[in-house]
Amino acid sequence: MDLGQHIPRKGIAGVLAAVLIFGMLFTAGFAYITYQATTAQDQNVANLSRQNAVEQGNLEKVSLATIVTGSGPYTVTIVAENTGGIQPP
């Protein structure tokens, strides 16, 4: 056995570590970007829903009428009618 002779060994530990770290960073980055996109989309849907509700509220019109009948005991009738955008179910 000759101690002066060195047998070259392939070093794969560094390459393997780099591949694993890249995989972890790629996975975490992709998950973060997906989360941000989903959150932005949910926020846009909520804003649109709120905007539609405000527009419907602005279209709402309520008309009130008071009717008084009778000569002795009076009868007072109050009629409220929604003529706008939000209709009762």
Full pLDDT tens readout for the chain, 89 residues: 556 677 676 788 888 999 999 999 999 999 999 999 999 999 999 999 999 888 877 777 778 888 888 777 888 888 888 776 655 54
Query: What is residue 2's predicted lDDT score, i.e. its pLDDT?
Result: 58
| Tokens linked to 4 | 């002066």
DSSP symbols for 37-75: HHHHHHHHHHHHHHHHHHHHHHH--EEEEEEEE-SSS-E
Global pTM reads 0.49
Query: What is residue 60's predicted lDDT score, i.e. its pLDDT?
Result: 76
Paired residues of 64 in beta bridges? 80
Query: What is residue 83's predicted lDDT score, i.e. its pLDDT?
Result: 74
Angle at 39 between CA 38 and CA 43, to 5 degrees: 115
Q: How far apart are CA 61 and CA 45, in angstroms?
A: 27
